């Protein structure tokens, strides 16, 4: 039975700072007509240019997925897009008054909460889903990334991450149906290693960073002086390392939260295909660059097969 397209009932706004820019931004989800998919709208720029959520509009994947079109740019799009896909919302306008989507707590959960508050409504048009009927693959040997898309009765995603870290080890996560996203994946936050955090701070690249919006993995010995420096930097009374090598800034929601967050990123980045897809994505050591390239490959297949 064909499902109907869906949008939201009312506009809803979330506010916060961009992780990398540190700029405060208001993001408003708005209803959109049938067959619209997702578009960002930079209402702070002259003419309020729109940016289509499309793999061909990706301009950067170094610290998140950045889209650029009509002279406008929007960064760190993946968590907001994952919320839309995870709730099976087909059409939305996403107005922003700054250059980056707010990081909030580093997950999709605040966006999910906002969209549920806005209400979800069915539209008249049938939902068009691309059903994959062949096996597609993508490899990035330099980063040891392997991705596969195979035919499946549902949209499924299986992820394996392995960072050669004694703290994280090898982790797996699997989504069997998209309706599992809200409960089992949306709350999973972004993560980084302490040495990455130090380098980003040193280069002034996480101006909106806060120890409340990321899981920080410590896989090497660290002195108390360095921990004290971190506490001062992020305006915390103290910072400690837990037994498992995680800073005491957050409690893990799941033992494999990092793998689940990588799955969340795939859900968001694969919105760049431009329509719902039905296949099983298997991903080993994925990242934004690989996600985008594989989404682009799937989009090309859709364009060829019609």
d(CA 40, CA 43): 9
Catalytic residue among 20, 79, 280, 288: 288
CB 41 within 8 A of CB 95: yes
CB 163 within 8 A of CB 261: no
CB 134 within 8 A of CB 281: no
d(CA 289, CA 32): 28
Write down how long the chain is: 306
d(CA 110, CA 79): 10
CB atoms within 10 A of CB 138: 19
Q: What is the DSSP letter of 10?
A: S
**Alpha carbon distances (Å) from 270 to 28, 64, 162, 172, 264:** 21, 13, 21, 19, 10
- Whether 36 sits among the annotated catalytic residues: the reply is no
CB atoms within 10 A of CB 83: 29
Catalogue the active-site residues.
Answer: 288
């Amino acid at each position: 039975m064909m499902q109907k397209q869906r949008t939201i009932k009312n506009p809803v706004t979330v506010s916060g700072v961009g992780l990398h820019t540190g700029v405060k931004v208001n993001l408003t989800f708005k209803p959109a007509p049938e067959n619209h998919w997702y578009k960002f709208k930079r209402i702070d720029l002259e003419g309020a240019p729109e940016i289509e959520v499309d793999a061909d509009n990706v301009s950067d994947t170094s610290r998140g997925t950045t889209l650029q079109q009509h002279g406008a740019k929007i960064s760190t799009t993946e968590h907001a897009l994952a919320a839309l896909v995870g709730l099976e919302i087909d059409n939305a306008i996403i107005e922003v008054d700054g250059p980056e989507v707010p990081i909030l707590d580093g997950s999709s959960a605040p966006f999910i909460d906002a969209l549920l508050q806005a209400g979800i409504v069915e539209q008249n048009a049938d939902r068009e889903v691309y059903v994959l009927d062949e096996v597609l693959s993508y490899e990035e040997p330099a980063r040891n990334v392997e991705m596969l898309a195979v035919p499946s009765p549902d949209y499924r995603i299986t992820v394996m991450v392995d960072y050669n870290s004694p703290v994280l080890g090898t982790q797996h996560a699997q989504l069997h149906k998209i309706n599992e996203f809200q409960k089992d994946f949306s709350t999973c936050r972004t993560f980084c290693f302490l040495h990455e955090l130090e380098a980003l701070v040193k280069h002034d690249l996480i101006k909106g960073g806060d120890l409340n919006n990321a899981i920080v993995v410590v896989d090497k010995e660290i002195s108390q002086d360095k921990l004290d420096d971190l506490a001062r930097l992020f305006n915390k009374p103290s910072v400690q390392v837990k037994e498992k090598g995680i800073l005491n800034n957050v409690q893990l929601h799941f033992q494999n939260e990092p793998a689940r967050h990588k799955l969340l990123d795939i859900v968001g980045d694969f919105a760049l295909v431009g329509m719902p897809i039905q296949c099983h994505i298997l991903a080993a050591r994925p990242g934004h660059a690989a996600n985008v390239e594989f989404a682009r490959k799937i989009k090309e297949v859709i364009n060829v097969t019609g």
